[in-house]
Amino acid sequence: MPFQETGAPAPLWTPAAERIAQANLSRFLAATGRSDYDSLYRWSVERPAAFWDALASFCDVLFDVQQTSILEDGDRMPGARWFVGSQLNFARNLLRFDDDREALVFWNEQGRRSSLTYAELRRRVARFAAGLCDAGIGPGDRVAGFLPNRPETVIAMLAAASLGATWSSCSPDFGYDGLLDRFGQIEPHILIAADGYFYNGKTFDSLDKVRRLAAAVGSIERVVIVPYLAESPALDGLPQPSLFDDFGEDGRALEFASLPFDHPVYILYSSGTTGKPKCIVHGAGGTLLQHLKEQVLHCDLRREDRLFYFTTCGWMMWNWLVSGLATGATLVLYDGSPFHPVPQQLWEMAERERVTVFGTSAKYIAACEKADLEPAKTHDLSSVRTILSTGSPLAPESYDYVYERVKSDVQLCSISGGTDIVSCFALGNPIAPVWRGEIQTRGLGMRVEVFDDEGRSLPPGDKGELVCTAAFPSMPIGFWDDPEQRSYQAAYFERFPGVWRHGDYCEITEHGGMVIWGRSDAVLNPGGVRIGTAEIYRAVEALPAIAEACAIGQQWQGDVRVVLFVRLQDGEELTPELSDAIRREIRSKATPRHAPAKILAVADIPRTRNGKIAELAVRHVVHGREIGNREALANPEALEYFRNLPELRS
């Protein structure tokens, strides 16, 4: 439908009747006897065992052994047990297809393109699994990847999962200390690494870090190298080294270990910006079910689709993307800068590959707007029916930009969840409208509420803590090396016992959607009034002179004052006139209480490797506290701009 004027009491997009009729979600409604999404959602949270059983059947989850019960101890969180007695294999479900349809398409910023069919993918997984098996890898062993977003990363993960091993990966831009903080904790037996990577036209060697890591982590018995920078990289100084294509042998049958539903398939890591990262262990069955629900029902993914998500293999969206293989869709992988060699790089790829579901970050959409890109005029995006955005809240102005200058008839889905659950709490609904600035809906089977500080559920329109008040299958098994689950309990259940507190500051809207206003631990509290940082960013970053911003609360004279740091566009200066314009914009688009007491220009703003603004790290530096884990940041050197600022002493 045509774009609606900002502020008009109408949705930005409404699905056509034909699209609603053909949606997977409509078929699921019919299969479960529900009349509409609202009734389906209520049923999914009131009768979770029936819902998740119906979902497993609808998505044809491949079980080796059927469950004796769907849910036991369902009133315990943590402690609920799902699909008790069942056995399955994660990789078997992702490799159910064995034909000549494309499974993986790979692009990089240098213009390389390659692809693998499902039959070729299966053969290559079988070969690599044979090598892992011969190396003694089996259920419970850890296999680590230090890799770009390439087909070999997917192959290695699937091979490890086929044997029941647990996969964990970091992207190649991690520094040595960041690698050691992560892989040093989980003690992998085999490390698979690329010899380097490309980014923004530059070449980066990884082998020195790989050698240091292998020497420091005594559990690493073998290193397998993926040649990326060179055809024959130097393997000296590595334990039992092999090149990726020489590891394993052809002709071995691909076998799948049959394992319990909650067998650990992934170890992911918290960002760790203020301390050592937590190693979060996720179970195979819960991860598979949750991803199938989100992709099949919420994203309407099917076999003929081509799914892209701009991600690295150090972010949970890589794990989410790879699960798309279970639907038989084609996955489009990209490695490198999204703006190199040209700013339109990803839109060019989407056009040429006929991408149907295009996933990216809120930061990327905002950057496209700042770069004045108009893909609707420059590219044929007729294949794209859905755009997904996550990583940080998607500003209302970004909704305007997408519908005005990217594609007017696309479903724009802001989604929100986290590494903690390797999935989403709130996401899209392909049979419902898109409203400006709102995530469309809470996820099916996720009893999401908004709590005040006393643990009372708040009505729509009131802001508070995002919580989940009932168990769900993709809750972590626990944290690594936390046998009594003390750290796990403290991370999510200490504030509200028996209730998952996610750490987002949010509200439920009158349309049944959600708005995320920022991390609750970064919420500003001047004069006792809670303010989400996203409210400030949405106002400030709409100004052409501002590239990005970071707001913190500074302890000052017995209260908290709002301090706003801005990174300016090239050639801009923070003049008194611009400062006044920033405050006016904030007052008009938020409230006078949001207006900062101080506005300071900095050369850069620290971000996590997932692209999120590291407000806590900035706040720590401003208050003279130590940063426990600088390696969690993509640009840790940016912290120096915030240290000992004289303007913050008055």
What is the CATH classification number for the domain harbouring 643? Answer: 3.30.300.30
Cβ–Cβ < 8 Å for 471, 423: no
Q: How many domains does the chain have?
A: 2
pLDDT in the model for residue 274? 58
- Of 215, 236, 260, the residue that ends a domain is 260
The closest alpha carbon to 281, from 262, 261, 258, belongs to 262
pLDDT in the model for residue 202? 96
* Number of Cβ within a 10 Å radius of residue 236: 7
Range of the domain at 226: 102-260
343-364 pLDDT, tens digit each: 999 999 999 999 999 999 998 9
Indicate whether 598 belongs to any domain.
yes
The closest alpha carbon to 311, from 103, 107, 606, 610, belongs to 610
Cα–Cα dist 545/310, whole Å: 27
Angle at 533 between CA 435 and CA 557, to 5 degrees: 150
Indicate whether 231 belongs to any domain.
yes
- Of 260, 291, 307, the residue that ends a domain is 260
Cα–Cα dist 261/259, whole Å: 7
Indicate whether 280 belongs to any domain.
no
Which tokens in the block code for residue 477?
């098994």
pLDDT in the model for residue 616? 87
Indicate whether 174 belongs to any domain.
yes
Indicate whether 428 belongs to any domain.
no
Q: Residue 126: give its domain's CATH number.
A: 3.40.50.980
Indicate whether 464 belongs to any domain.
no
Indicate whether 200 belongs to any domain.
yes
> In the chain, which residues have pLDDT < 50?
1-7
- Of 232, 260, 288, the residue that ends a domain is 260
Please indicate, yes or no, whether the overall pTM of this predicted structure exceeds 0.85: yes
Cα–Cα dist 194/262, whole Å: 30
Indicate whether 556 belongs to any domain.
yes
